[in-house]
Structure 1
Amino acid sequence: MVIVWSVLVALVIMSIPTAIRLGPDMIGKKFVDSHEFQGEMEGFYYTLSTTVLNPIQFEEAREKIIVTDEEIEEHRMRYGNLSDQVMNIQEQYEGRITDAEASGNEQLKETLIKERDTKIADIELNFESDEHVEKKVLAGKVSALKQFLTENQQSARSAFPIAYHLTDVKTGEVFTQGDVEVPAIYKKTFGEVDDYFKANTVISESEYNHYSVSYYDDGYELTAADFANIQQPVRQFEGVIVVSEKALQGSYLKDHLASFNKKKYRNYTLWILSIGALYLLLTKVKFKKEWVTENRFVQSYNGLKIDVKVFIFMFSLLLTFEFIHRDATGAFFYNDYYSGAWPDQLFWLIVLAMSILFLAFQLVNSIERWKQAGVFERDFAESYVVNFLKSFQTMFLNRTLGVQMFILLIGFFLAGFGFAVVAIQPFLILAYLPAVFFLGLPVLYIFVKRSAYLNRIFSSTEKMANGTLHEEIKVKGKSPLAKHARHLNRLREGVQISISEQAKSERLKTELITNVSHDLRTPLTSIITYTDLLKSTHLTDEDRLKYVDIIDKKSARLKTLIEDLFEVSKMASGNLELHRQKVDLTQLLQQALAEHEEEISNSGLDFRVQLPESAIVANVDGQRWWRVLDNLIVNALKYSMSGTRVYLSLDRVGDRAQFVVKNISKYELSENSDELFERFKRADTSRHTDGSGLGLAIAQSIVEMHDGEMEIDIDGDLFKVTVEIPVE
């Protein structure tokens, strides 16, 4: 019942933004009253004015175009000063002239020299004569005007039939199209002084600015001043404009009318349902706190820290308000794209209902729980914040180390704060620089020195944990870190290498046997089964061919598993040799994508690929690096949710190439991304998909052999792989 309550509340909430936003436009309104139809008519009025009733006359307009001194100077200096432009032309022709001379083609050489000298002479004349430049700019602007008029005429046709009969009030000139006496769904009459149809050449000053950007030819713009000069006087017309009922029979208006009615009646349905939901909430389905207190999830939820509860509550609250504030739910009821997407609307209704349900659950549970004496105090005492404060106190158990770390933290905070202040008030750098040299740098030196020693201790400890116990940690000075190093050395002496190595060996052997036996047994069993079936003398040729095809596929599957296993084994033993060469990573990625073009096309996935404009060259084994790209692309094809996007990008970041693959997984992923690098680990835990489970392990090994890094990030169902390697 609590779920029903939350759905009813969500339904009421979802109806609020649509009622506010769409009610005035839909309740009691027809299609011709809609913003969509009115927008179509406004567009028709504009094109009618500028192309039929009051168009720009090209011959008259071209005489009014002017060229300003600024435009002359801009054209002259567009490609740099005189010396830069001459040098650029010479460099363009130098190689071509040399090639023609080397090939013995004297005619081509002379033609290129003449062409070069002509261009250089034209450039020099640009810097000598304003009139020369003015003619070129004027010709370009005239060409741009012609382009504008051509495109304006091309856009004059209306998307649906419209009839009109208009008479110029001043000259009596009549413009007519179609029959204005037919039955109409829309009719606009112009006649009185304030209602005359006003036909402008260009609508407004904003149109000037629009055209000055949109209509140009080879860099020659028509400016706002040009359009102001060619603007003709406004003409006023009386008459009528009609859209006939037959226009609704055309696919354009017919489809838009159907879409409008669908949205209107769908929203009517939503509003009626929300009224019914509100009635039920006030009468039959009133909220009961027992829905929360007797819920089986209460015990699990109460096990969370109070900090986590507060965060979850605030997140749920923000999510709910976001739906209301941004019309996130209502958008699905008035957006054309979702005009028939009831499943999507239902999905967002469920999301909002769950958010409301969780808010109610948390609020009621907290109130009822904290009514008990001492519970709030205990929850607060066990919170992460309180534990952090206790840990902060424990930080000073070794007072020397605690004080040093605290001073370092304060020092870095003040340094960052001082930098921000100097960025706002630069004159304070006179006080900031001495503080940096006499306080900041010494503190930084101490921090780096201690951090380096701590990292060496960490490195040695890691080696000890991995079984390398013959290296003793060097003890320097009498600091707390030196004391810790002595303790670790004592611990090292008590560890037996043989036990550690034996445990590691047993673990690897068990893991290998478990995973390999499962993945090899399945295709092998199929091969044996269908081989036995082939021995039957009663098989038809069709069945025999089918069984042979199955055996062939299972054999290929078995071969792939064994090859991948040997590949991983060679990498693990260090017996794999790389043949490095300079490779264009951009081209290699393009080839890998082309190899899978058919699979990508049939996958139902939308691959979004972002490649750099220039080549990224790295010293890699091309065959092995192809394997990395292929494994990651195949991984995305296999495990991406159908209908989602897959993002692939390659870019240069500093001295490293970064390749990123992002997709939405169709399987639930563990938060521990390191598990996916394990051998035979799959997102498909049921192991029904093809593959050895070694793809990411092989890719990671190849990347590491190239001195690169490979990381996996998981955020819910978002799966992201980042690969970085050094480049030339």
Structure 2
Amino acid sequence: MATKWKSIISFTAFFLGITLLLSGIIDSVYLLSSRSSWKAQITEAFEEDYQNTGEFRWQMADYLENFLAMATGGPLWGNGYRAYNYYSGADTYYEDIAQAYAVESGTGDWSWSLSEDYPNEVTEAIGDYSSDYDDYDGYEYGVYGNGDYSSKEENKKRAEQYHNAIKDDKNILYRITYNDGTVYTNAEGTQLDGAGMAAPKDYNFLMYFDGNTVKMRKDGKEIDVYKDGYYREDSDWYVPGYKNFTVDEETQKATVTIAAAKSPKLYIKGEYAKDSSRQLYNRLYWIEYNQRQEKGRYIALAASLAVGVLLIVVYLILRKDKKRADQRIAKITGKIWYEVKLILLLLALGLVLFRSGYWWSEIFMRIRYGEFYTGMFRELFQEMFAWPAGLVGLFWIIYLFVNDNRYNQKVWKQSISGHIAGAFRAADLKLPFQRRVVHRCIPLIVVAAVLILLSAASLLIFCLAGGYEIVPLLILMILVVLGAVLMIYMQMYYMKKNERLMQDTGTLIDQIKTVRDGAITSELQVQPDSDLAGAVQDLNDIRKGMDTAVKEQIKSERMKVELVSNVSHDIKTPLTSIISYVELLKQEEGLPDYIRDYVQILDSKSQKLKEMVQDVFEVSKAASGQLPVEIEALDLGKLLRQTLADMSERIAGSKVQIKTDIPEEEILIMADGQRLYRVFQNLLQNALRYSLDGSRIYVNLKTDGSVAVASVKNTSASEIPADVNFTERFTRGDSSRTDGGSGLGLSIAKSFTEACGGRMTVETIADLFVVTVEFPQIHTPLTTRRI
């Protein structure tokens, strides 16, 4: 039970931690990417005074811009729009106003339409720019009303509307004069004196334009507006008076005084005749309100991230228990059709993409007409990240999908297509091998046909829609991409299947060759669903039968060797006694001559019997794989010459001649020198013993660069019987021979050769007896090793 609760706690901590962290990160990315400087954004959010924010500075500059236009009869600018497009890059300007308005009004919804979010009087005065948004280019073509600025009367009418719309918003007090005469003001009866830099109580910020430059005072202190006198993009104030930002002669006749409230309030105007009320402009109030909201949002975001990190730490402590929770979840999701899970995944992805469908349409339209603007993709990025809940939900659907694939083996089998594919494979396995390979093309053709039909249908819908609807185009693109991926997957699947077929075929051919060469101990394994599974099973059955027969034969041989070894061991003890007593008899004096002849015969026969017993031990060790060898690099030609030199006395006393053909250059092989010396000693002794008198023995050494071949050839003194394996133990060419040979010489030579890694063969051509010893040739001495 404790383990179960640990598993629940671990997964809950993981789920909540990841949810909080992911939503926090997405929210952070959205917030920090919404402006050009995220550091400034955070810094301003935690400012104690809203008047220290960039939003306030731009708003005051905008007030001044419009008030100067009102004084001179010029056109009004759409509040903040010039700054957004050309100067500040702060594209949350209208968004903050609209959102705050929606919160305060209780509508819960807001949009980018200026006409919906601003009081009607302001909208009428500066116009609704939304319809002409796409025609905007820099600040030379602003959308302010209907764009006709030639009429002074029209501009004055709009100025009156704008003044009437904002004059009751007492968060700012302003006085606009032209040729020393007051044109517009909402500061009647107040001590608003720009020239004297005096503002009423509760208004701690004062801005005064004297016709050429702007002076500012905040909390009784002068503000350095112009710094070094030149305006730059990072300057705090966008106001005239810089050396590179001046005004015309008409504007020099105007003065503007603006005071901002220290603590803005929300002003609402009651219209009781209409049984309603409406908010006034209240721009400074919303700047302060949004700053507080932004600060609270950052604090909540930080708290969310901190709690998320804490929960992730809890998960990391109990991460081993989470695996059990994942397995239980996978057990549940494994019972759902795979197609259902895939559709849910695609729907979640589609919701995230289509939620920002407007921006997708905008991008496709601009791609179509070759029109791009800076930040187009950034706006799409922000639009997608503006929905953290959707992205977090998509993440968990993907997590469940991956978790399902991780713990459930072959998840696609629990699907409609999996059952269809299984039925197809079951029917396919009943077909002959040739038809099975041909039928693999059928699913590929079916998938291609379905893809073509779906793509054609989507293309038809797109064309009927006039080529402007983005949804059919996206569906078409998704279908084409998914179809292409499916086609590639199936191509790779069948390529892999055919590759496995070729590998199995090659393995089967190699196994047949191996069995032919006598290596029948290894069993061939292929996948149960392999096309060659039946053939492989038949070959394995043949191999088992051959292996059983060989094992029986080996068992018989081993019993024979063990019998000989045991008998030889039993003979060794009395033989040692016989040899000892023979030696004692040889030392006795006064023995008759015929007795000494008997002793001599006993000595000769006992010594031969001793050699035979020793040979039997050597053969037994070699046959059982217990013969110790020391493999090293040696010169095979030098070994042959040394063997011939050591046997020179016996060769000289024989009635045959030795003819050699041994190269002088070094021919290196890897072998045990002592064992190989014994091999050639036995071969030469055998040749000397059984060669025809007056004949010749040929000792040759040749190499082709990869294999060294040494041979000993002699002509037999007696007829060589046919069908005799001369390397078998106790085998002699003539059973009637009484020359004292044990019949083990060639057997020992072959056993020692194989123990050293070589190969020895015996060939008879009429009375010609040929023994060949082969070793791989090396060209660089290798490391000595003991076996």
Normalised-by-shorter TM-score class: 0.3 to 0.5
- Between Structure 1 and Structure 2, which shows a larger proportion of helix residues? 1
Larger radius of gyration: 2
State the TM-score, normalizing by the size of structure 1: 0.33
State the TM-score, normalizing by the size of structure 2: 0.30
